[in-house]
């Protein structure tokens, strides 16, 4: 075996190094130095992020007889996830200093890095075995992370719900894969695609397989009706975990979904899964919105909001081709910043006062104007209001979807657009509570931790800058179109 | 980039935003607001004179001062600017109303700083919209202008402001949902460009697609233009909004609707406009009469004015749909005229409300005796609204009627006559208000101690009155301004007569 | 002719309006009044000069070598161009009728300015009053010198607005406010017709210009031949609609209801606007467009019928009013109807359009004596502080000047020679008899009624029985009496003007011939009316009451103006307000807005309805997951396979 | 009698359905885990059988099965840990009771 092919996996190796360093630091450093674990992890991860931007990283390469593939696109999506992870880790620093958490602080960072590693594999896998390994690596540690707040019952309940549904969904996914294997005799994406293409006709078994695979991966993306775990888990999990789940694992899932659907089942797009996806998108956006309308718990609220956002991300999958991929990546990037800004505020308030209900946010402007402002920017960005980045990402994802040109896609986009009205409604509810409500503020004035503010500044900069500074999207689109 | 004069229409508001953000007290805030809006007004007036001299010197491009800076190059999105006479008229309107609005909110309370921040953000959107000739930036600025509305009404409004603010925002966003689809459709079916001039000159959109995209964009902008049956945000929204916001919203923002309908829906898709105009003619014709009738029985001053706006803005869209030069010229005039006089109305209503703390005409009376200056201004505004010659409403309405009647189709003519009826109904509700509110005996003894207008209020109202009268007395000036937009060459290019 | 003086004629009142309107508050009453009056005096001189130039200078601009008076445009500037052809121009047209109006309007206006110095002394808003008077004078002058129909429409609206402002001058009185509102809205409604008429006419003729329209109507109107709009011939439709505008301004039935109420304004205003000048704008309009009307005889028939009915109706109502200003108002309506009838019967083949000349003649004389009567009534009201004749009686002893001048006015309107009204009315009757005997007799009866109701109030005011006066009534001060005397003098001699020399259709000189039969009949009828009035009202007695009792229903109906106001109330309040506006407002809130709110409610309901999907039980989650995946597969399979 | 593909697939399918049934109906979380194992094993059988009968040339299915077994073990380990956690907190591992967060 040629071990040099490991060098194709530059980012994975980098991440493993980071993981090992954090692990060693956590294990062997004296106790007084452990206070800096979080910052060490953040620093190392930041280096890893920067490393991802080295030109050599984005060179195309494959390894293990094509089971693993890296190219500019995968490198880029991994970079996007890195950025998000850094922000999540910064946000987690304050939380990880809590008494109940502090003894297991190191583990948290290690688990995050591990799941990220799994996501790397999901993204780069071109063989279902590697994909499953990546998927499980990405989702099993999350269960432990969800259960991290041992002192809160919700955390346990969320973990149970998560692990049971996660395992069930991977069972469904693997069942689907076994059908695929039975039909095509291979687990390589390219070979499966070739076999399906060669087959020409479509069989019931293939349809079931496709549905199961969509279900299995859709679980990660929390597409309706595979989304039901989302709200409970988001609510129960510690806030940094929730934010991690809502952006990073969703982003990775979305990209993996795109790769699988197009590279494996591309041949049966219009036969098998185009309409499935249409139905899922409509359901996801609508049901996510309808549930989000009523939520009072901010984390649960953002859970449903993230469900409907996943629906918009899916529009990028339908578009596929250069524009769709770029729009999807851009959407994920913007979504990371917007959602993390929101979670940053939620986390800051939760850490300071323990309150997560929207009713408690009444009059936040009076006591904590900066937090309220950040939250408002996040909400506007999520709702797609210019000049914030969310507007651009929504616009581009719709534009890329419509590039397909069929009447059905116009209808689909129209439904999605009408749903933005509902989503605007509930995002504005938050703004209303913070800015307009005249009740006495519940949350007293407090100073958020330096780490929290730092993370929020990054997010605000992203929200404002990512859209107006066009080079981000232009660069993505250029990169995608040269890579494709 | 900064060598183009137009970009300053966005730069100045942005500067104002920055300065407002660092200003410490009311004095500085006012100074920034007034200086900034004066600068904008000066800029737009300069632009006007310069534009006219350029035209006189023989510049014959449809848009002048055009410039384009690449933004999202792969999607062919540019920050493209350019103006013709209509845009300039709208720019002047916006800056006048921003200025007078600043004066009208001289004593805004609470949070003056934030109020002006949002107000200026809103006007950034407005100015940006009017200078853009790129559909994407146009749409972006359009939405920038919409959202501050929510907070402005929600925080500084009155009455059932939560409900109104939410309704207004959601309905307008609903409109922009259709609009966004329409614009993206135009991009794909109009030669993969967002540039209005290019699309219009090439008439690039396939007719069968036009039939689909025209209603999308027209309805999208029509919601903001208060087209029946999508007008219901207007009464509630205006009733709840603070003075300056009502002024800007009715005076300028609703014009975005009319302007957009013209600039996007009709300019780019003339064939569909010809084919489908009748549907929207019915709707806007209904708007005109229906709004006027509704206004007759309202008791809240702002509701009366909001319904009157429905009627007047309906006339704008109505005229645009007639697809001929005269009617469209009238539509532009009506936009200006309505913008100014409705801003005047809302300013006065705000001032009266600030004193009497009621807007119910049944609870007021004889204000002419108490606050003669405001009352006289109100009468003038009313006269402008009901189309008294010498004030702006008359020239606009007459141009519209004459232009609409040029259409030889009986259907169009019957609707024109129907629209003409609005002048009578307008007279009814205006005189009803004037009679109840200003004339007659003083209704409430407590009102006797109220004071007349202060200097900033006078500045605000007089400036608007001067503009209203100027348009009303010297309408020919418009012909010069608008001539080129509707010149035969352009109409030939976009397929209109 | 140089344009300076005509321009000044328009500019001075406008400038005065702006001056008094903006700076009036800073002036004393006296300054404002004197300024206004002086301004009007200047206008008076200038317009007399202009009219003199027009009629007597022999300038080829104004009169052809054949002696035909020409239409001459002094200046004409583009104001608003709709299309290359349809341009609103603001200009100054001199022709026989506008020159005549240039005499009438400044004369009356100046008299009223002068008179008001005394009448309005000490009123709050004195400066405003003079500002409005100036505005009105400006608008009215602009109307009569209009070179095109749209200029006329512009000033038409402006006189409406100034009339609104002046009627509502006492704005604290609810009756004045509602009267002004009514006046504006009713005339506005009529103007709608005018406007639509203009739209139709201008579309087919592609011009607004009076000269183009009237100099050769046959060819200009050729394009309308056979054209129909919604089933009517467009030309008839247009002319009737334009006449509708005139009906509104000139208070023809059924749009007359605003004029009696307009008497709520200050009396000098009634004299100026609602007797002498503005209300004849309708007549003036028809006269202006007369050549076009001639192309559509049916529309002239319409004018005739409306005029005749109005004349009789107003005369009957005038007999039963208590308020002397109302009597005068109905008398005005009736007299204007005379002018309309006269225009309606004017045909080239009947005495070379005698009706046209007669109508203008009557307009002229009527302006003088009706202004006189109103100003006289003003003096009376000023003296006894009441509008009702019941508060008057025997005033001849206290107010000799008023008495004499009022009597002259009454004789003039009754058509007794040698007073002005006799001549003009006689011409009208000649014209009407020339057209149709039926309408001739009809109008003669109306003339008799005129004499009766005028002398009815004359006797009731100056004779009858003397009530208890709190203060001894007396004549007004000099500024009030002077206009009365001047106008009385004019009313006495104006009939002897050879009107046919100056104002005729097409400007050819026309020699007035007295038709002694007609004159005799009308004088006789008038005398009968006068003596009947004398018989009833000279001294206090119960004959009037008994007469009224004998046909009570008629008397009540006439007193209530044949219930026109009630009918209008019913239409506007019950039908339009409650039947249209309220339902629409309700519909808007309940249905349109309701459906928007409904969308929100439905969304909310849906949100609540599906909340149990998220039951919190993990096994249900998984079940739904499974069902979802299987459904996807099954539905796709069913569709694809 | 030949033992063909179907003789393996049917039991595997039955196992899978039993697993689903058990997962959906058992209230004890441990029992649910066992059901999950059943399903996983059914998948393993599928892979092995497909490899053995249809594509004997390569060993992809076999490898996948090996990995799947390992993954199943990891899953079970984590799940058990969490269940122990919840037992500590609540003294109860009835899945019906873990439904406080809803709607």
The three-state secondary structure class of B231 is coil
Predicted local confidence at residue C547, as pLDDT:
80
Q: Do chains A and B touch (3 or more CB pairs under 8 A)?
A: yes
**Separation of alpha carbons A349 and A346, rounded Å:** 5
D101 occurs within a structural domain? yes
Contacts with A213 (C-beta within 8 Å, 6 or more apart), sequence order = A173, A176, A177, A180, A260, A264, A265
Query: Do C443 and C305 contact (CB within 8 A), yes or no?
Result: no
Tokens read off for D102:
């809803």
Q: Could you tell me the residue ranges of all domains in chain B? A: 5-493
**What's CA C240's distance to the chain center, in Å?**
17
Tokens read off for C251:
């208070």
Q: What is the pLDDT of residues C257-275, one digit of tens each?
A: 888 888 888 888 888 888 8
Tokens read off for B167:
């309704």
* Residue B490 in this model has a pLDDT that exceeds 60: no
* Residue B201 in this model has a pLDDT that exceeds 60: yes
- B297: which chain C residues are within 8 Å (Cβ-Cβ)? 577, 581-582, 585
Contacts with A466 (C-beta within 8 Å, 6 or more apart), sequence order = A333, A334, A337, A389, A392, A472
The pLDDT confidence band at residue B56, using thresholds 50, 70 and 90, is confident
Closest CA to A339 of A305, A362, A315, A372: A305
Between the alpha carbon of residue A301 and those of residues A223, A358, A385, B377, B447, the distances in Å are 16, 9, 19, 50, 49
Q: At what angle do helices A105-124 and A128-146 cross, to 10 degrees?
A: 160
Q: Report the gap between the CA of A261 and the closest CA in chain B (Å).
A: 25
The verdict on a CB contact (< 8 Å) between A182 and D32 is no
Predicted local confidence at residue C553, as pLDDT:
81
The pLDDT confidence band at residue B497, using thresholds 50, 70 and 90, is very low
| Other C-beta atoms lying within 10 Å of the C-beta of residue C593 | 18
Residues of chain A with pLDDT under 70: 1, 320
In C59-77, which positions are buried (b, 16+ CB within 10 angstroms) versus exposed (e)?
eebbbeeeeebbbbbbbbe
D25 close to C (CB below 8 A): yes
In A450-484, which positions are buried (b, 16+ CB within 10 angstroms) versus exposed (e)?
ebbbbbbebbbebbbebbeebebbbebbbbbeebe
As a whole number of angstroms, the longest Cα–Cα distance in chain A is 70
Q: For chain B, what's the residue count?
A: 497
Tokens read off for C17:
């309006």
Candidate from B147, B170, B187 with C-beta closest to A421: B170
Among D22, D23, D25, D26, most C C-beta atoms within 10 A, so best to mutate, is D23
Closest CA to C294 of C228, C247, C349, C245: C349
Burial of A354 (0-12, 13-18, 19+ CB in 10 A): exposed
Q: At what angle do helices C174-205 and C234-249 cross, to 10 degrees?
A: 160
Q: Find the helix or strand (DSSP H, E) in which B79 lies.
A: strand B77-83
Closest CA to C106 of C151, C75, C136: C136
Fill in the DSSP letter of residue A188.
B
Q: Find the helix or strand (DSSP H, E) in which B24 lies.
A: none
Q: What is the dihedral of CA C148, C154, C160, C163, to 10 degrees?
A: -90
Chains with ≥3 Cβ pairs under 8 A against A? Answer: B, C, D
List the alpha helices (DSSP H) in C252-353. Answer: 258-261, 267-271, 281-288, 290-295, 297-318, 324-345
C209: region left, alpha or beta (phi > 0 left; psi from -120 to 50 alpha): beta
- C188: which chain B residues are within 8 Å (Cβ-Cβ)? 386, 423-424, 427
Tokens read off for B325:
């030069």
Dihedral pair phi/psi, residue C467, rounded to 5°:
-75, 175
**Separation of alpha carbons A64 and B465, rounded Å:** 80
**Separation of alpha carbons A145 and A80, rounded Å:** 21
- C202: which chain B residues are within 8 Å (Cβ-Cβ)? 402
Of C515 and C453, the structure prediction assigns the larger pLDDT to C453
Tokens read off for B473:
């007395």
Dihedral pair phi/psi, residue B98, rounded to 5°:
-65, -45
Dihedral pair phi/psi, residue A337, rounded to 5°:
-65, -45
**Separation of alpha carbons A158 and C54, rounded Å:** 102
D11 occurs within a structural domain? no
D69 occurs within a structural domain? yes
Between the alpha carbon of residue B485 and those of residues B88, B109, C247, C259, C435, the distances in Å are 11, 43, 41, 47, 56
Predicted local confidence at residue C81, as pLDDT:
84
**Separation of alpha carbons D18 and D35, rounded Å:** 7
Tokens read off for B487:
């010149």
A369 close to B (CB below 8 A): no
Fill in the DSSP letter of residue C470.
S
Q: How many domains does chain D have?
A: 1
**Separation of alpha carbons C422 and C411, rounded Å:** 9
**Separation of alpha carbons A329 and A466, rounded Å:** 13
| Other C-beta atoms lying within 10 Å of the C-beta of residue B408 | 8
Average of per-residue pLDDT values in chain C: 86
Contacts with C321 (C-beta within 8 Å, 6 or more apart), sequence order = C327, C330, C559
C-alpha angle with apex B364: B362 to B368, nearest 5 degrees? 135
**Separation of alpha carbons A297 and A294, rounded Å:** 9
Predicted local confidence at residue A438, as pLDDT:
84
Taking one residue from C and the other from D, the number of pairs with CB-CB distance under 8 angstroms is 28
Fill in the DSSP letter of residue B486.
T
Residue of chain A with shortest Cα separation from B181? A414
Of C461 and C190, the structure prediction assigns the larger pLDDT to C190
Q: What is the pLDDT of residues C461-476, one digit of tens each?
A: 888 777 777 777 777 7
D13 occurs within a structural domain? no
C59-72 average pLDDT score: 81
Among B173, B213, B217, B233, most A C-beta atoms within 10 A, so best to mutate, is B173
**Separation of alpha carbons A248 and A254, rounded Å:** 10
Burial of C552 (0-12, 13-18, 19+ CB in 10 A): exposed
Instruction: Find the CATH number of the domain harbouring D37.
Output: 1.10.287.3510
**Separation of alpha carbons B447 and A6, rounded Å:** 87
The verdict on a CB contact (< 8 Å) between A276 and C628 is no
D20 occurs within a structural domain? no
Candidate from A160, A164, A172 with C-beta closest to C629: A172
* Residue C86 in this model has a pLDDT that exceeds 60: yes
Q: Find the helix or strand (DSSP H, E) in which C262 lies.
A: none
Q: What is the pLDDT of residues B361-376, one digit of tens each?
A: 888 888 888 888 888 8
Closest CA to B397 of B330, B473, B314, B468: B330
pTM confidence score? 0.91
Predicted local confidence at residue A40, as pLDDT:
92
Tokens read off for C52:
């003199």
Tokens read off for D81:
């840990």
Residue with tokens 């206006």: C109
Between the alpha carbon of residue B488 and those of residues A263, A349, B409, the distances in Å are 55, 63, 21
Q: What is the pLDDT of residues B299-345, one digit of tens each?
A: 888 999 999 999 999 999 999 888 888 888 888 889 999 999 999 99
Q: Which of residues 232-261 of A touch C (CB under 8 A)?
A: 232
Between the alpha carbon of residue B420 and those of residues B399, B490, C194, the distances in Å are 12, 29, 11
Dihedral pair phi/psi, residue C230, rounded to 5°:
50, 40
Q: Find the helix or strand (DSSP H, E) in which D7 lies.
A: helix D5-25
State which residues form the domain around D34.
29-103
Chains with ≥3 Cβ pairs under 8 A against B? Answer: A, C
ipTM: 0.91
Q: Report the gap between the CA of A122 and the closest CA in chain C (Å).
A: 22
Of A100 and C247, the structure prediction assigns the larger pLDDT to C247
State which residues form the domain around A428.
3-483
Query: Do A301 and A295 contact (CB within 8 A), yes or no?
Result: yes
Between the alpha carbon of residue B79 and those of residues A29, B6, B84, B260, C283, the distances in Å are 55, 11, 17, 17, 61
**Separation of alpha carbons D67 and A133, rounded Å:** 8
């Amino acid at each position: 075996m040629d071990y040099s092919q490991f060098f194709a996996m530059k980012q994975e190796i980098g991440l493993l190094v980071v993981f090992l360093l954090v692990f060693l630091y956590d294990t062997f450093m004296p106790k007084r130095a452990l206070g800096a674990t979080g910052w060490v992890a953040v620093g190392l991860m930041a280096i890893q992020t920067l490393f991802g931007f080295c030109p050599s990283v984005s060179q195309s390469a494959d390894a293990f007889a094509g089971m693993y593939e890296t190219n500019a696109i995968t490198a880029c999506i991994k970079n996007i996830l890195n950025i998000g992870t850094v922000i999540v880790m910064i946000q987690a620093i304050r939380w990880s200093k809590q008494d109940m958490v502090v003894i297991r602080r190191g583990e948290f960072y290690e688990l995050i890095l591990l799941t990220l590693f799994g996501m790397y594999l999901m993204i780069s896998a071109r063989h279902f075995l590697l994909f499953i390994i990546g998927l499980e690596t990405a989702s099993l540690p999350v269960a432990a992370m969800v259960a991290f707040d041992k002192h809160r019952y919700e955390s346990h309940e969320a973990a149970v719900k998560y692990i049971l549904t996660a395992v069930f969904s991977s069972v469904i996914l693997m069942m689907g894969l076994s059908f695929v294997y039975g039909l095509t005799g291979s687990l390589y994406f390219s070979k499966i695609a070739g076999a399906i293409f060669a087959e020409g006709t479509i069989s019931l078994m293939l349809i079931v397989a496709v549905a199961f695979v969509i279900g299995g991966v859709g679980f990660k993306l929390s597409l309706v009706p595979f989304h039901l775990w989302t709200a409970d888990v988001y609510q129960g999990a510690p806030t940094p975990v929730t934010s991690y789940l809502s952006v990073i694992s969703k982003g990775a899932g979305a990209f993996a979904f795109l790769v699988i659907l197009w590279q494996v089942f591309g041949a049966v797009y219009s036969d098998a899964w185009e309409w499935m996806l249409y139905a899922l998108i409509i359901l996801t956006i609508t049901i996510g919105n309808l549930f989000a309308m009523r939520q009072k718990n901010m984390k649960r609220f953002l859970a449903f909001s993230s469900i409907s956002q996943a629906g918009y991300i899916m529009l990028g999958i339908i578009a596929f081709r250069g524009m769709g991929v770029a729009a999807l990546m851009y959407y994920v990037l913007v979504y990371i910043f917007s959602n993390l800004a929101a979670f940053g505020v939620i986390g800051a308030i939760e850490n300071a006062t323990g309150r997560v209900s929207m009713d408690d946010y009444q009059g936040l402007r009076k006591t904590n104007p900066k937090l309220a402002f950040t939250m408002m920017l996040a909400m506007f960005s999520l709702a797609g209001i210019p000049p914030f980045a969310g507007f651009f990402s929504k616009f581009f994802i719709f534009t890329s979807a419509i590039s397909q040109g069929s009447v059905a896609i116009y209808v689909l986009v129209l439904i999605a657009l009408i749903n933005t009205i509902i989503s605007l409604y509930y995002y504005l509810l938050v703004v209303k509570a913070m800015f307009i409500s005249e009740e006495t503020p519940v949350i007293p004035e407090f100073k958020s931790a330096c780490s929290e503010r730092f993370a929020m500044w990054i997010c605000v900069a992203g929200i404002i800058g990512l859209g107006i500074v066009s080079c981000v999207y232009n660069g993505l689109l250029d990169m995608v179109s040269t890579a494709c | 980039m900064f060598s183009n004069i137009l970009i300053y229409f966005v730069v100045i508001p942005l500067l104002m935003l920055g300065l407002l953000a660092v200003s410490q007290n009311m004095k500085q805030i006012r100074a920034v607001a007034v200086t900034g809006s004066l600068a904008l007004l000066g800029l737009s007036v300069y632009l006007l004179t310069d534009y006219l001299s350029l035209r006189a010197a023989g510049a014959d491009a449809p848009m002048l001062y055009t410039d384009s800076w690449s933004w999202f190059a792969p999607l062919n999105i540019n920050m493209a600017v350019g103006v013709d006479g209509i845009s300039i008229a709208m720019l002047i309107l916006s800056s006048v109303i921003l200025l007078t609005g600043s004066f009208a909110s001289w004593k805004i309370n609470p949070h003056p700083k934030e109020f002006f921040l949002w107000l200026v953000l809103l006007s950034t959107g407005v100015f940006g919209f009017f200078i853009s000739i790129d559909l994407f930036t146009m749409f972006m600025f359009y939405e920038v202008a919409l959202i501050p509305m929510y907070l402005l009404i929600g925080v500084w409004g009155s009455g059932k402001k939560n409900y109104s603010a939410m309704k207004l925002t959601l309905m307008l966003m609903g409109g922009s949902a259709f609009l966004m689809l329409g614009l993206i459709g135009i991009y794909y079916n109009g030669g993969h460009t967002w540039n209005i001039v290019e699309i219009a000159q090439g008439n690039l959109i396939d007719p069968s697609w036009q039939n689909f995209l025209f209603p999308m964009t027209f309805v999208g902008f029509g919601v903001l233009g208060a087209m029946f049956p999508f007008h219901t945000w207007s009464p509630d929204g205006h009733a709840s909004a603070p003075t300056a916001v009502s002024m800007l919203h009715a005076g300028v923002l609703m014009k975005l609707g009319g302007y957009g309908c013209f600039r996007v829906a009709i300019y780019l898709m003339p064939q569909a406009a010809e084919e489908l105009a009748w549907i929207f003619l019915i709707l806007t014709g209904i708007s005109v009469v229906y709004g006027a009738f509704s206004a007759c029985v309202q008791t809240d001053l702002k509701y009366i004015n909001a319904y009157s706006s429905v009627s007047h803005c309906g006339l704008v869209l109505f005229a645009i749909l007639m697809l001929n030069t005269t009617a469209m010229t009238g539509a532009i005039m009506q936009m200006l005229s309505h913008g100014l006089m409705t801003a005047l109305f809302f300013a006065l209503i705000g001032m009266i409300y600030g004193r009497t703390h009621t807007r119910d005409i049944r609870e007021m009376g004889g204000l002419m005796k108490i606050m003669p200056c405001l009352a006289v201004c109100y009468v003038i505004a009313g006269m402008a609204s009901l189309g008294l010659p010498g004030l702006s409403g008359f020239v606009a309405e007459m141009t519209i009627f004459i232009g609409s009647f040029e259409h030889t189709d009986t259907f169009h003519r019957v609707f024109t006559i129907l629209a003409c009826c609005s002048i009578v109904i307008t007279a009814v509700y205006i005189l009803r208000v004037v009679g109840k509110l200003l004339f007659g005996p003083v209704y409430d003894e407590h009102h006797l101690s109220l004071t007349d207008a202060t200097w900033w209020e006078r500045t605000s109202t007089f400036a608007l009155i001067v503009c209203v009268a100027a348009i009303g007395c010297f309408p020919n000036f418009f012909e010069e301004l608008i001539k080129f937009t509707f010149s035969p060459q352009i109409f030939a290019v976009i397929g209109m007569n | 002719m140089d344009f300076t003086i005509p321009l000044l004629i328009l500019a001075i009142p406008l400038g005065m309006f702006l001056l008094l309107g903006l700076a009036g508050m800073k002036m004393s009453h006296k300054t404002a009044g004197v300024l206004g009056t002086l301004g009007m005096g200047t206008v008076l001189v200038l317009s007399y000069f202009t009219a003199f130039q027009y009629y007597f200078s022999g300038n080829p601009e104004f009169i052809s070598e054949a002696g035909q008076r020409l239409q001459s445009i002094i200046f004409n500037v583009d104001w608003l161009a709709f299309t290359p052809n349809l341009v609103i121009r603001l200009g100054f047209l001199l022709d026989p009728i506008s020159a005549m109006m240039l005499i009438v309007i400044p004369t009356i206006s100046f008299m009223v300015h002068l008179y008001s110095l005394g009448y309005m002394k000490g009123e709050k808003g004195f400066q405003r009053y003079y500002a409005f008077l100036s505005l009105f004078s400006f608008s009215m002058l602009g109307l009569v010198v209009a070179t095109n129909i749209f200029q006329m429409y512009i000033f038409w609206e402006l006189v409406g607005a100034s009339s609104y402002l002046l009627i509502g001058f006492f704005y604290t009185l609810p009756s004045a406010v509602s009267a002004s509102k009514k006046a504006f809205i009713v005339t506005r409604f009529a103007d709608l017709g005018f406007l639509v008429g203009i739209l139709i006419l201008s579309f087919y003729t592609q011009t607004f210009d009076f000269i183009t329209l009237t100099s050769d109507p046959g060819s200009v109107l050729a394009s309308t031949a056979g054209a129909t709009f919604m089933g009517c011939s467009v030309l008839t439709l247009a002319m009737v609609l334009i006449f509708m505008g005139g009906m509104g301004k000139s208070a023809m039935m059924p749009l007359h209801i605003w004029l009696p109420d307009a008497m709520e304004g200050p009396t000098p205003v009634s004299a100026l606007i609602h007797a002498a000048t503005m209300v004849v704008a309708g007549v003036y309009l028809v006269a202006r467009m007369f050549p076009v009307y001639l192309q559509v005889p049916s529309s002239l028939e319409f004018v005739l019928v409306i005029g005749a009915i109005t004349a009789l109706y107003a005369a009957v109502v005038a007999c039963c009013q208590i308020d002397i200003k109302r009597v005068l108002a109905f008398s005005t309506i009736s007299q204007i109807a005379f002018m309309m009838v006269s225009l309606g019967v004017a045909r080239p083949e009947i005495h070379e359009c005698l009706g046209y000349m007669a109508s203008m003649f009557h307009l002229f004389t009527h302006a003088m004596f009706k202004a006189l009567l109103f100003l006289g009534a003003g003096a009376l009201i000023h003296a006894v502080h009441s509008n009702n004749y019941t508060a008057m009686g025997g005033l001849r002893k206290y107010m000799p000047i008023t008495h004499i001048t009022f009597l002259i006015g009454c004789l003039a309107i009754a058509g007794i020679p040698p007073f002005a009204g006799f001549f003009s009315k006689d011409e009208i009757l000649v014209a009407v008899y020339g057209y149709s005997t039926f309408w001739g007799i009809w109008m003669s009866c109306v003339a008799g009624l005129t004499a009766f109701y005028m002398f009815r109030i004359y006797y009731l005011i100056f004779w009858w029985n003397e009530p208890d006066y709190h203060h001894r009534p007396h004549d007004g001060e000099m500024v009030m009496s002077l206009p009365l005397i001047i106008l009385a003098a004019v009313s006495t001699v104006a009939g002897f003007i050879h009107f046919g020399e100056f104002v005729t259709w097409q400007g050819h000189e026309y020699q007035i011939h007295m038709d002694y039969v007609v004159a005799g009949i009308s004088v006789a009828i008038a005398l009968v009316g006068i003596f009947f009035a004398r018989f009833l009202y000279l001294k206090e007695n119960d004959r009037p009451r008994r007469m009224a009792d004998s046909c009570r229903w008629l008397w009540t109906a006439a007193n209530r103006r044949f219930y026109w106001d009630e009918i209008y109330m019913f239409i506007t309040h019950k039908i339009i307000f409650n039947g249209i506006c309220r339902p629409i407002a309700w519909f808007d809130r309940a249905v349109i807005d309701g459906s928007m709110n409904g969308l929100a409610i439905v969304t909310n309901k849906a949100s609540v309805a599906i909340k149990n999907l998220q039951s919190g039980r993990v096994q249900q989650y998984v079940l739904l997951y499974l069902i979802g995946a299987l459904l996807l597969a099954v539905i796709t399979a069913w569709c694809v396979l | 009698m030949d033992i063909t593909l179907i003789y393996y697939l049917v039991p595997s399918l039955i196992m899978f359905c039993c697993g689903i049934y058990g997962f959906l109906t058992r209230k004890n979380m441990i029992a649910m885990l066992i059901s999950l194992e059943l399903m996983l094993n059914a998948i393993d059988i599928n892979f092995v059988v497909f490899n053995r009968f249809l594509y004997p040339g390569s060993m992809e299915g076999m490898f996948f099965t090996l990995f799947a077994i390992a993954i199943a073990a990891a899953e079970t380990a984590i799940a058990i840990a969490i269940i122990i956690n919840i037992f500590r907190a609540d003294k109860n591992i009835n899945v019906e009771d873990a439904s406080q967060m809803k709607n």
